[in-house]
Each structure stands twice: as structure tokens, then as C-alpha cells.
């Protein structure tokens, strides 16, 4: 398991999490490192898109609320997110960037990684461009901001965010 690194990337909507992760992936590829991104809401997005017969709308309060509540429901009964996480980690070697907002998941992921000797890092991205939504997942994602290993302040240019991603890779990933 020593060839695996799990990086939790969290932050409010529109903070720059996806862009930060894209820069990490780009830099890893340039340095011939395996790197992939997974969101703990991917499964629920697929189901939503099948139900409403249209793509998930990231700016829709209704879609975001549905996904948040649906995720809580299926995890309460079937523990889908943790099952998917452990399956993905088992078969993936490299750097695994994970978007998740819920602390109960982050805690379980960390425990799993610690028990399996997998390096685990948490990153919180902030930005003045953040948007607030009223669903459970988005509302409480900031609650433990100060407990993350790294906080990225995305308050400048895209070039600066890309440089932050490169520095993160150099200092924490390889």
C-alpha cells in the first residue's frame, strides 16, 4: 500500500477545488505519476441524471439538495460511499484525489488509510468566490476547516493557484 496516497480535497462550492485538482493531475502527469480524481457524489449524480434525464446542474439548489439527502439516505442503508472508496483504493496505485464534504466520511477514510498504511492528507480550499447553498453537505463542509493538514487560499490568479498545486505536489506528494 506504500504506492498509494489519498488526498481529501474539500471547500465550499466555487472555491476552486476542481481547478486545484486539475493542476495537480497535470503536474503529476508531467512527472509521470499516476493521479486520479474521484468525488464521493459521482454515483448519486449518475442516478440523478438518469431520473431527471438531464445533466446534473452544479448551480441548482434543488439538484444539490437532492444529492446531499440522497447520499445520506443510501449511505445509512447501504454504506455505498465507503464501499466504493475501499474498492477504488484496493485497485489503484498512485495519488488519489477525493472530493468529499462530510466529516464522518473523512474520518472513516483516514482510519482506513491509517490501518492500511496509506499516506493520507487533507486539503481545504478557500476563495472569495465561494457560494453558499442550504443543503446539509454544503452547509457543514467548513465546520472543521482549521483541522485540515493544508489550507489553500485561492484568492489571486489561476497562475498562482497552479503554482500552489505544484508546490503541494513537490512538498507532499513526491
pLDDT digits (tens, 9 = 90+) for 9-46: 999 999 999 999 999 999 999 999 999 999 999 999 99
Q: Under the phi-then-psi rule, with left for phi > 0, alpha for psi from -120 to 50, and beta for the rest, what region is 55?
A: beta
- State residue 2's pLDDT score: 64
Rg (CA), the chain: 16
**For the chain, what is the mean pLDDT?**
93
Q: How far apart, in whole angstroms, are the C-alpha atoms of residue 87 and residue 91?
A: 7
Confidence of residue 133 (pLDDT cuts 50, 70, 90): confident
Percentage, residues of the chain above pLDDT 70 = 99
pTM of the model: 0.92
| Signed CA dihedral, 6, 7, 13, 19: sign only | negative
pLDDT digits (tens, 9 = 90+) for 43-56: 999 999 999 999 99
| Residue 122 · residue 168 · CB < 8 Å | no
Amino acid at each position: 500500500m506504500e504506492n498509494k496516497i489519498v488526498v481529501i480535497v474539500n471547500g465550499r462550492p466555487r472555491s476552486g477545488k476542481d481547478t486545484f485538482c486539475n493542476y495537480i493531475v497535470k503536474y503529476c502527469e508531467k512527472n509521470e505519476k499516476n493521479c486520479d480524481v474521484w468525488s464521493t457524489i459521482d454515483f448519486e449524480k449518475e442516478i440523478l441524471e438518469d431520473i431527471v434525464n438531464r445533466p446534473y446542474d452544479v448551480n441548482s439548489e434543488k439538484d444539490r439538495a437532492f444529492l446531499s439527502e440522497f447520499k445520506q439516505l443510501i449511505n445509512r442503508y447501504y454504506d455505498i460511499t465507503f464501499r466504493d472508496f475501499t474498492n477504488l483504493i484496493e485497485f489503484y496505485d498512485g495519488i488519489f484525489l477525493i472530493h468529499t464534504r462530510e466529516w464522518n466520511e473523512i474520518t472513516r477514510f483516514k482510519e482506513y488509510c491509517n490501518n492500511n498504511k496509506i499516506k493520507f492528507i487533507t486539503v481545504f480550499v478557500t476563495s472569495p468566490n465561494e457560494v453558499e447553498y442550504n443543503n446539509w453537505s454544503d452547509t457543514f463542509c467548513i465546520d472543521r476547516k482549521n483541522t485540515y493538514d493544508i489550507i489553500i487560499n485561492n484568492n489571486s490568479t489561476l497562475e498562482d493557484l497552479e503554482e500552489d498545486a505544484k508546490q503541494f505536489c513537490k512538498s507532499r506528494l513526491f
